[in-house]
Structure 1
Amino acid sequence: MKTIHEINRLPETECEQALQNCCGSTRWVRQMLIARPYESAEFIFVLAENIWCGLGEDDFLEAFSHHPKIGDRESLKKKFASTAHWAGNEQSGVNAATEAVIEALAKGNEAYENKFGFIFIVCATGKSAEEMLAILQARLPNEREDELLIAAAEQAKITALRLQKWITE
């Protein structure tokens, strides 16, 4: 577990990389860095959420682009190597999925991205592949504006979980 003192003493580039692994929004990372030194771990979580809530669509889309598609094992290994240890665990529910569920996720991901213009974002921790597929299918009828806000809220959950992992490593 890292103490707040250790986090505050990290070289800026190391802190920046750790924050980038938590959330792929450049503006979010910059604002988190500017707020150093942090008062406490609790302060980091409140700050993270407050900054996220003050950002907009471009920031959300940038953060979303830093995630592999749910069930896409190849992109998890290749493109997202820096966060694969977290994202892989977050998506571990996919590991036991049947081929039919994996195929349905792939088709659902494609339909979702075609409709909304960004990948399906869900806080996958603790969810089975079947649960994630049901969530994806339930969200497909949404309007884009509503779905963007839902995905942004899911990103906030993912960021909080990753911050927790970073602080407790």
Structure 2
Amino acid sequence: MDRIDVLNSLPAEKLEADLLAVCAAPAWGRAVVARRPYPSRAAAMAAADAAARDLSWDEVLLGLSAHPRIGERAQGDSKEAAWSRREQSAAASSADDETRAALTAANHAYEDRFGHVFLIFASGRTQEEILAAALARIGNDEETERAVVAGELRKIALLRLERLLDALD
């Protein structure tokens, strides 16, 4: 059976639970489930992208709640924790002690400024690149940063949905 057929045939409750590991905003998962059946993988990805763009700020905050601080190892053996560790693994191995300390300080400054964790699509980025982005984004106004965070959450959700689709059989 084709993976998109598997996605289309999963019981809604099971798929919604799987999608919470992709993005912890329940509204996103419900929207992806509600738009089934999908004629193709591309259609499912487009629907997921649209659903992420439609999230309210409160829903984005729910999505953020499942993300550890950048540079901190996600705990547990859930699918979401494993994905988070994988996404941050290359960046974590690229940093020296000074960069890690600077990133910790930037995380705290960012949280003090905005009241939530610093979220960035970390796949393929070094700690130095992540640090530079954190320092730059601390200077954003609230509205600008909310748009950036929503975009980063969307990119992470789409990457994780690709992984979920790849695992279906």
> Normalising to structure 1: TM-score of the pair?
0.91
Q: Cα deviation per residue 1:53-108 (whole Å; 9 max; x = unaligned)?
A: 222110111111111110012xx024x84412211111011133212211111111
User: What is aligned with 2:85?
Assistant: 88
Matched, 1:105 2:103: yes
Map 1:3-14 to 2 at 5 A: 3-14=3-14
Give distance in 1, aligned partners of 2:101 and 2:12.
42
User: What is aligned with 1:141?
Assistant: 139
Structure 2 gaps, min length 5: none
Give distance in 2, aligned partners of 1:154 and 1:50.
14
Give distance in 2, aligned partners of 1:2 and 1:127.
32
Structure 1 gaps, min length 5: none
Partner of residue 77 from structure 1, selected from 75, 78, 82: 75
Give distance in 2, aligned partners of 1:118 and 1:32.
26
Cα offset, 1:38, TM superposition? 2.0
SS in 2 for 1:77: coil
SS in 1 for 2:27: helix
Given residue 82 of structure 2, which amino acid in structure 1 is its aligned partner? H
CA contact (8 A) 1:19 1:29 kept: yes
CA contact (8 A) 1:2 1:167 kept: no
Cα offset, 1:136, TM superposition? 0.5
Q: CA RMSD in A?
A: 1.7
Given residue 134 of structure 1, which amino acid in structure 2 is its aligned partner? A
Give distance in 2, aligned partners of 1:161 and 1:51.
14
Q: Which stretch of structure 1 is more off in the superposition, 132-141 or 44-53?
A: 44-53
How many equivalent pairs are there?
166
Map 1:19-98 to 2 at 5 A: 19-73=19-73, 76-78=74-76, 81-92=78-89, 93-98=91-96
Given residue 158 of structure 1, which amino acid in structure 2 is its aligned partner? I
SS in 2 for 1:152: helix
> Normalising to structure 2: TM-score of the pair?
0.91
Structure 1 segments of 4+ aligned residues over 3 angstroms from their partners:
none
Structure 2 vs 1, CA of residues 64 and 36 (structure 1 numbering), >3 Å: closer, same or farther? same
